[in-house]
Amino acid sequence: MPACRRLRPWLVAAVFALALLAGSRGWLTAADNPQGKTIAEVQTAGSRLRSSAQILNMVHSRAGKPYDQALVQEDVRRLQSTRWFTADGVRVLTTNEADGRVTVTFVVTELGNTVQEIVYHGAQHLSDGDLRTLTGLRKGDAMNPMANEVGRAAILRRYQDDGRYHATVELVEGNKPTDSRVVYNIVEGPVVKVAGVEFVGNVGAITGRLKTQITTKTAFAGAIGGKFNPMTIEMDRKALTEYYQALGYLAVKIEPEVRRSADQSRVTIVYHIVEGQQYRVSDKIITGNKSFETDKLMAVTELKPGDRYDRRIAQRDQTRLREYYGSRGHNVPIDEQWYEVEPGVVQVQYVVGNDRGVPDRVGRIRIQGNDITRDRVILNQLDLRPGQILEYPKLEEAQMRLSRLGLFDMEEPPTVRDVPNELDTSFKDIDVRVKETRTGQVIFGGSVNSDAGLTGNISLNERNFDITRIPTSWDDFRYGRAFRGAGQELRLEAAPGTTFQRYSATFREPYLFDTPFGLTTAAYFYNRSFAEYNEDRYGGRVTIDRRLDSIWTASASTRVEGVNVRDVPAYAPWSIAKDAGNHFLLGLRAGITRDTRDSYIYPTKGSMFDAGFEQVLGDYTFPVGTAEFTQFFSTKYLAREDGSQRHVLGFRTQVAVAGTNAPVFERFYAGGIRSFRGFSFRGVGPYENTLAVGGTFSLLNSIEYQIPILPSEKMFWVAFVDHGTVESKFDIKDYRVSVGTGIRLSVPALGPLPLAFDLAFPVVKGPYDHRQLFSFSMGLFGSQGRQ
């Protein structure tokens, strides 16, 4: 017995080493597979320089959760990225416990010496902080020559990104494991500017459009911007090649040339292009399909025999075919190939792979990474339920919806993937992984336009609000759990201005009781100075909406308002003076919206229809009916071959009718940049004593033609005709018409909406209408911070 006791430590060590070797060489059998078992404990072994807590803080596998091989592999990669360990210095050992659970051990092999000093010789235009961020090196880290070399390359790449083409970075110490210092010698060199980008040999594509395909930009006035980065030349060459192939030039050859100035401070990049001939399509075929007939698949494709070959259309056909299969439960690859059948003519073939003929179904849905956000917030975005046919396009749609929520880290965006189910091959489990981020936001901005003057904006927005998660300890605030996690939105906004100001608080629950109904509540105070009076409006609004499908939305809302009409001039007519003072309103509204526009900012096709009816009660009783329809057409035949430079024709009609008992502050007015150009704000409508009294009937129409001026499509010229009327009763008595022209500028730094400048001339106007030839609108969006 004593002899056995003396041998026992050696036996344990031998078994541990054998298990470690077996795990590293993949000797574990299927019977030892820990997948899905509950984790009893997560521990570490082999560390000397780092504590177990430091190491475990980097992993996401936790005791009490199911063992997930994919997550464990991510943990290993995350530990390796710390550069604390050797190249293969992180291994995982699993031990089955008697109760069926599993213990997970991360066995590590640390690097040797530690870094005592880091020196950057010769750096003048990058601070030590910038250099530390680039290399990721810190004093006390394990000496890792490979990581030091990666840091050297990162510094050089940063200098080249800054246009210092001649920069050199040398690692003089830290290239041996026995070193104790990391020393870089840096020669920065001058900033090299791009004097110009030229294209030689292009006939089928204009130079302006080719410049929009590349990332390299020329220096403005020879000094501003335009830093030369040689890394972008190959990227630009590939982008130009893909652009030409999309136009049917399948054999295009592009060779870049860099011409340096005599003093080496400027370069001119020349792309030599041999376009070749433009290919056309002789025929298209589909092969490999078993589940669906060829005719049905052909019907969803767009590329037609006789057309020029367009790789973009071919790729869209691939997507359509994959979605046709995927929406019916088949996850199959679609490969697009082309074969030259004669000079300049190709046959296009779509090859369907792995068509088993049996649709897949949804198995379990597993969510990971949401420490604060509730599961139901994520499940509401999936539109997938266990047992139903797995519509594969919904996986990508769910991924996009989760990303748009703004609740998760966009550097590691949410993923929604199907994984095999060990019980049945026709069932696929859904694996959802998210990484949470800060969801509070503070925004400073504003706008200026010819209608409302200058308006500032300060807003606080929390996109992952939870009105029921009341904090129970200081840690709830410290770790961001207080009032967070339900995917609700809370927005507080202050918009002071010269003639207009608004203060509001808005709460939105997008899935009320986990149903498709959304709830929005708002409280607000509004003040506006008009020529006729000053108006204060305060109250609240409750709206319930229901998205019926991808284009239709229905809503019902209630508003409760107090309205104060003050500072009414003594010469005001009775129709204004009678409504002075404080008033109470209760409005009940039902509405329906249909939206098929391809863009909210720059639509080129589709339409938008919005209609509603409101019954107003309180100090006044009257109905209000409104309807608006907008239609956009893009002139395809005037566009370039690549689909750009499209001319857009838009029509808009607005009709509004109110009861004759509507007070002056609820009537309709027209005029201004977003209403009736050529007239001032509220410059169209019935007048008494030269003051606008508003109407109970409004009909406003607009026809606008838009032409892009620049190949980049950042600037547009528009011509328009606005026409319509505002009348005191349901009648058309004084019909107005104005014609005009304008410019639209897209400046991303100033917000999503374009800058608008319009010049309009009234052709037909009413007797007291107020003209305004020039109108403009600009957004001014400043900094924003996150919480």
* Least confidently predicted of 182-191, 313-322, 593-602, 661-670: 593-602
The pLDDT confidence band at residue 643, using thresholds 50, 70 and 90, is low
* Domain stop point among 90, 110, 130: 110
Q: How many domains does the chain have?
A: 6
How far is Cα 103 from Cα 121, in angstroms, rounded to an integer?
48
Residue 420 CA to residue 427 CA, distance in Å, equals 7
Q: Count other C-beta atoms under 10 Å from residue 396's C-beta.
A: 12
Q: Is residue 318 domain-shared with residue 407, that is, in the same domain?
A: no
Q: What is the pLDDT of residues 195-220, one digit of tens each?
A: 999 999 999 898 988 998 998 888 87
- Nearby residues of 518 by Cβ (< 8 Å), 6 or more positions away: 508, 509, 510, 511, 512, 544, 545, 546, 547
Q: In which domain, by residue range, is 254 found?
A: 193-274
Query: Which residue, of 244, 274, 304, is where some domain finishes?
Result: 274
The answer on pLDDT for 237 being more than 90 is yes
Tell me what pLDDT residue 88 has.
Answer: 81
Are residues 545 and 617 part of one domain?
yes
Residues 86 and 155 in one domain: no
Residue 783 pLDDT? 44
Q: What separation in angstroms does the CA of 361 have from each of 352, 354, 482?
A: 20, 17, 38
Between CA 86 and CA 141 the distance in angstroms is 13
Question: Which of 110, 142, 157 corresponds to the end of one domain?
Answer: 110
Shared-domain flag, residues 554 and 637: yes
**Which two three-digit tokens encode residue 516?**
């498709």
Check residues 325 and 145 and name the one with the higher pLDDT. Answer: 325
In this predicted structure, what is the pLDDT of residue 450? 75
Structure confidence at residue 506 as a pLDDT band (50, 70, 90): very high
How much is the pLDDT for 711? 76
| Structure confidence at residue 642 (pLDDT) | 64
List the end-to-end C-alpha distance of the chain, in Å, as a whole number: 65
Could you give the CA distance from residue 371 to residue 435 in angstroms, rounded to a whole number? 9
Per-residue pLDDT of 151-178, as tens digits, reads 999 999 899 888 888 899 999 999 887 7
Give me 201's structure tokens: 């040999």
Q: What's the whole-model pTM score?
A: 0.68
User: What H or E segment, with its residue span, contains residue 341?
Assistant: strand 334-342
- Smallest CA-to-CA distance from 463 within 442, 439, 480 is with 439
Task: Show Cβ contacts of residue 120 under 8 Å, excluding neighbours closer than 6 positions.
Answer: 126, 128, 131, 155, 184, 186
Q: How far apart are CA 667 and CA 656, in angstroms?
A: 10
Between the alpha carbon of residue 42 and those of residues 122, 165, 381, the distances in Å are 46, 49, 32
Of all residues in the chain, the percent with pLDDT exceeding 90 is 59
pLDDT, the chain, mean: 88
DSSP assignment letter at 452: T
Q: What is the mean pLDDT of residues 692-697?
A: 94
Q: Is 579 exposed, middle or buried (0-12, 13-18, 19+ CB in 10 A)?
A: buried
Backbone torsions φ then ψ of 5, nearest 5 degrees: -65, -35
Question: Which amino acid is residue 253, in one-letter code?
Answer: K
Tokens, residue 5: 């006791």
Regarding whether 775 and 657 lie in a shared domain, the answer is yes
Confidence of residue 455 (pLDDT cuts 50, 70, 90): confident
Query: For 149, what's the count of Cα atoms within 13 Å in the CB-facing half-sphere?
Result: 6
445: in domain: no
603-641 residue pLDDT tens: 888 999 999 999 999 999 999 999 999 999 987 666 666
Backbone angles phi, psi at 640, to 5 degrees: -75, 170
Any idea what the Cα angle at residue 16 is, between residues 12 and 19, rounded to 5°? 140
Distance CA 537, CA 584 (A): 10
For the domain that residue 46 is a member of, what is the CATH number? 3.10.20.310
Does residue 701 sit in the same domain as residue 620? yes
Judge if 327 and 394 occupy the same domain.
no
Sorting pLDDT into bands at 50, 70 and 90, what band is 7? very low
Which residues fall within 8 angstroms of residue 570, CB to CB, at 6 or more apart? Answer: none
Q: Is residue 407 one of the residues assigned to a domain?
A: yes
In this structure, the answer to whether residues 580 and 728 fall within a common structural domain is: yes
Note whether 236 and 100 are same-domain residues: no
For residue 612, give the 3-state DSSP assignment. strand
Residue 731 covered by a domain: yes
572-586: average pLDDT: 95
pLDDT digits over 753-785, tens only?
678 899 999 999 988 899 999 988 876 544 444
pLDDT at position 9: 45
Give 698's pLDDT tier (boundaries 50, 70, 90). Answer: very high
60-69, 137-146, 337-346, 361-370: the lowest-pLDDT one: 137-146
The residue type of 159 is Y
Range of weakest confidence among 81-85, 203-207, 502-506, 543-547: 81-85
Verify that 176 and 55 share a domain, yes or no: no
Mean pLDDT of 314-340: 93
Average pLDDT over residues 32-47: 88
Distance in angstroms (rounded) separating the CA atoms of residues 703 and 774: 18
